[in-house]
């Protein structure tokens, strides 16, 4: 993220300011506005200006709160106090210029405001004037021309870059009061047009937006408002998505749970049947042993140990070697069992081995 702006700034410095350092030679004849951008250029670098004696000296004032070309935390020259301005050269603060004085391009702030500055000042953010004063064609004047009266117009063609390449963007400024525009053809102040009216330039529309179709559009700086139904649809989308996912997972897992339960039931039934078989076998065996003549001694050696019940004791003796056989029995019987998913029956077999 960080290198890109740095590269941009570096190339910007090369293009828009000279490279001469403090104390180097320079010539004020090179001072100019760059073609296309109208940015001020001199031979000196971004922290110095070209003094009258042909030497680059450190700048004496700054135009912007955050001046271009200084290192982070570097000492920056001061902003000018009220009643003064810092010219494009940024050599030193000067007193505001009275009406009729020479001023620099787009530097309305160099001109002294009119007495009725509060009435004439542009409170929109369009840069129509500064405190009611405006610099047109390098002359200070006040933005006090009224409806259908003569006005001064200044057209500046900037080079702009769009998706389709380079194009010329003409910025037209005048000295009409706020709410009027200076018509370039008749040089008269005309009322700004409302939404939908025919237009040929942005300045004719009160929205400052003349569409390609030739009518005034909506103000592009206004925030976009969407209808309540959009919020409703978005909310339904969000909560519908959440609950849809939850319900879907619940149904999916319920089916899996039912399958698991069925498998366990099946396993339990098998085990129960097996257990019943064993019981039956044992009873048959006991009956046959009891029917032998010397039943007393046989009983004490086979069933009498550790005080266990007759039902459990024989299983304990043979459980370990039979364990794997039990698992195989389960695996063979339930063909739909997946080894990865079906861990539980195997584990329960192991538990049962210990208990038997
Ligand atoms: C600067 O200008 C002076 C006088 O014109 C000249 O003697 C000197 O060599 C110049 N210095 C450079 C670095 O060009
Ligand atoms: C130009 O003026 C500055 C400040 O007045 C001074 O420091 C500098 O030495 C001068 N340079 C020449 C070449 O006269
Ligand atoms: C309008 O401004 C001009 C300077 O641009 C000034 O000479 C003139 O007196 C002003 N007119 C009014 C009515 O204030």
pLDDT in tens, 298-326: 444 444 444 444 444 444 444 444 444 44
Torsion, Cα of 44, 46, 47, 52 (10° steps): 30
**Ligand 3 site-directed mutation target among 144, 154, 180, 189, most atoms within 8 Å of CB:** 144
pLDDT tier for residue 258 given thresholds of 50, 70 and 90: very high
Q: What is the DSSP string of 116-159?
A: THHHH---SSS-S-BTTEEEETTEEEES-B-TTSB--EEEEEEE
Contact 114, 120 (CB under 8 A): yes
The pLDDT value recorded for residue 244 is 96
Q: Name the DSSP class of 126.
A: S
Q: Is the CB of 142 under 6 A from ligand 3?
A: yes
Tokens of 297: 């001694």
Ligand nearest to the CA of 52: 2
**Ligand 2 site-directed mutation target among 22, 25, 57, most atoms within 8 Å of CB:** 57
pLDDT at 343 exceeding the cut of 50: no
Atom of ligand 2 nearest to the CA of 25: 13
Burial 93-131 (b: 16+ CB within 10 A, else e): beebbeeeeebbebbbbbbbbbeebeebbbeeeeebbbb
The pLDDT value recorded for residue 308 is 47
The residues that bridge with 94 in the sheet, in sequence order, are: 85
Q: Is the CB of 55 under 6 A from ligand 2?
A: yes
3-state secondary structure of 275: helix
What spacing in Å lies between the alpha carbon of 128 and ligand 1's midpoint?
44
- pTM here is 0.63
pLDDT at 202 exceeding the cut of 70: yes
Q: Is the CB of 99 under 6 A from ligand 3?
A: yes
pLDDT per position as a tens digit, 143-165: 999 999 999 999 999 999 999 99
Q: Is the CB of 51 under 6 A from ligand 2?
A: yes
What spacing in Å lies between the alpha carbon of 275 and ligand 3's midpoint?
114
pLDDT at 86 exceeding the cut of 60: yes
pLDDT-wise least confident of 17-26, 32-41, 133-142 = 17-26
Ligand nearest to the CA of 48: 2
User: What is the mean pLDDT of the segment spanning 285-289?
Assistant: 91
| More confidently predicted of 228 and 222 | 228
| Among 204, 231, 225, 226, CA closest to 215 | 204
Counting residues of the chain whose pLDDT is more than 70, the rounded percentage is 78
Atom of ligand 2 nearest to the CA of 54: 13
**Ligand 2 site-directed mutation target among 21, 43, 53, most atoms within 8 Å of CB:** 53
Q: Is the CB of 52 under 6 A from ligand 2?
A: no
The pLDDT value recorded for residue 16 is 57
CA count, 13 A, side-chain hemisphere, 171: 15
Q: Is the CB of 120 under 6 A from ligand 3?
A: no
Q: Whose CA is nearest to atom 3 of ligand 3?
A: 142
What spacing in Å lies between the alpha carbon of 141 and ligand 3's midpoint?
8
pLDDT at 10 exceeding the cut of 60: no
The residues that bridge with 133 in the sheet, in sequence order, are: 130, 142
Contact 110, 97 (CB under 8 A): yes
Contact 59, 74 (CB under 8 A): no
| Among 291, 277, 252, CA closest to 329 | 277
Pairing of strands 165-174, 139-142: unpaired
CA 38 to centroid of chain Cα atoms: 33
* Cα gap 96→84, rounded to integer Å: 5
The pLDDT value recorded for residue 291 is 85
User: What is the mean pLDDT of the segment spanning 232-252?
Assistant: 96
| Average per-residue pLDDT for the chain | 83
Q: Whose CA is nearest to atom 4 of ligand 2?
A: 57
Q: How far is CA 329 from CA 162, 270, 274, in A?
A: 76, 10, 11
3-state secondary structure of 89: coil
User: What is the mean pLDDT of the segment spanning 180-184?
Assistant: 95
User: What is the mean pLDDT of the segment spanning 63-78?
Assistant: 91
pLDDT per position as a tens digit, 23-51: 999 999 999 999 999 999 999 999 999 99
Q: How far is CA 119 from CA 25, 104, 135, 192, 249, in A?
A: 47, 24, 18, 18, 67
User: What is the mean pLDDT of the segment spanning 279-298?
Assistant: 80
| Among 130, 156, 124, CA closest to 221 | 124
């Amino acid at each position: 993220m960080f290198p890109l702006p740095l590269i941009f700034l570096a190339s910007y410095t090369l293009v828009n300011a000279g490279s001469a350092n403090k104390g180097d030679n320079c010539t004020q004849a090179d001072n100019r506005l760059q073609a296309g951008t109208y940015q001020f250029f001199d031979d000196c670098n971004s922290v110095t200006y070209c003094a009258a004696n042909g030497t680059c000296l450190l700048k004496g004032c700054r135009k912007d709160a955050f001046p271009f070309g200084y290192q982070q935390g570097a000492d920056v020259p001061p902003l000018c106090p009220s009643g003064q301005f810092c010219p494009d050269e940024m050599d030193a603060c000067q007193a505001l210029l009275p009406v009729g004085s020479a001023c620099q391009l787009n530097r309305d702030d160099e001109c002294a405001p009119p007495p009725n500055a509060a009435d004439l000042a542009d409170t929109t953010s369009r840069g129509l004037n500064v405190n009611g004063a405006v610099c047109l064609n390098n002359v200070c004047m006040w933005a006090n021309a009224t409806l259908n009266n003569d006005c001064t117009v200044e057209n500046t063609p900037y080079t702009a870059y769009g998706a389709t390449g380079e194009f010329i963007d003409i910025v037209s400024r005048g000295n009409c009061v706020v709410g009027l525009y200076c018509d370039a053809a008749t040089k008269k102040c005309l009322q700004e047009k409302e939404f939908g009216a025919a237009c040929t330039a942005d300045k004719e529309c009160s929205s400052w937006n003349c569409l390609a179709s030739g009518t005034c559009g909506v103000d592009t700086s206004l925030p976009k408002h969407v209808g309540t139904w959009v919020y409703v649809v978005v909310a339904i989308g969000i909560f519908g998505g959440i609950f849809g996912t939850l319900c879907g997972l619940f149904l999916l897992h319920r089916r899996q749970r039912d399958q698991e339960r069925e498998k366990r039931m099946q396993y339990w039934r098998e085990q129960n049947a097996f257990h019943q078989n064993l019981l039956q076998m044992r009873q048959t065996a006991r009956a046959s042993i009891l029917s032998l003549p010397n039943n007393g001694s046989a009983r004490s050696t086979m069933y009498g140990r550790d005080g266990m019940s007759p039902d459990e004791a024989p299983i304990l003796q043979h459980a370990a070697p039979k364990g794997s056989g039990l698992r195989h029995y389960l695996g063979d019987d339930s063909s739909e069992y997946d080894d990865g998913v079906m861990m539980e029956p195997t584990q329960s077999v192991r538990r049962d081995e210990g208990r038997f």
